[in-house]
């Protein structure tokens, strides 16, 4: 199955997740608001591009290898 294209905001959140390593309510960076950031991260989890770190409450999110691969593919497209 072909992966849906990332939107501008989803891509930005995924890039921030890659840059910062993880995101949780108290990790110091936000996309817009804490709830907005978490909503976007949950959507990325559904797509397999991010994951919830086990045994974290509140949840902590991190990028998956699939997320890294998706960003790398997008970056290569831009360079071409």
pLDDT tens digits for 37-59?
A: 999 999 999 999 999 999 999 99
What domains are defined for the chain? 8-79 (1.10.10.10)
pLDDT at 1: 45
Q: Angle at CA 50, nearest 5°, toward 43 and 70?
A: 95
Global pTM exceeds 0.85: yes
Alpha carbon distance 52, 54 (integer Å): 6
Q: How far apart are CA 2 and CA 12, in angstroms?
A: 21
Q: How far is CA 30 from CA 1, 34, 56, 72, in A?
A: 31, 6, 18, 22
Confidence of residue 29 (pLDDT cuts 50, 70, 90): confident
Torsion sign, CA atoms 27, 30, 34, 38: negative
């Amino acid at each position: 199955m072909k992966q849906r294209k990332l939107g501008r905001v989803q891509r930005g959140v995924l890039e921030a997740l890659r840059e910062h390593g993880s995101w949780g309510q108290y990790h110091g960076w936000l996309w817009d608001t804490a709830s907005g950031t978490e909503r976007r991260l949950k959507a990325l989890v559904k797509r397999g591009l991010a994951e919830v770190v086990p045994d974290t409450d509140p949840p902590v999110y991190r990028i998956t290898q699939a997320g890294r691969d998706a960003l790398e593919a997008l970056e290569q497209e831009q360079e071409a």
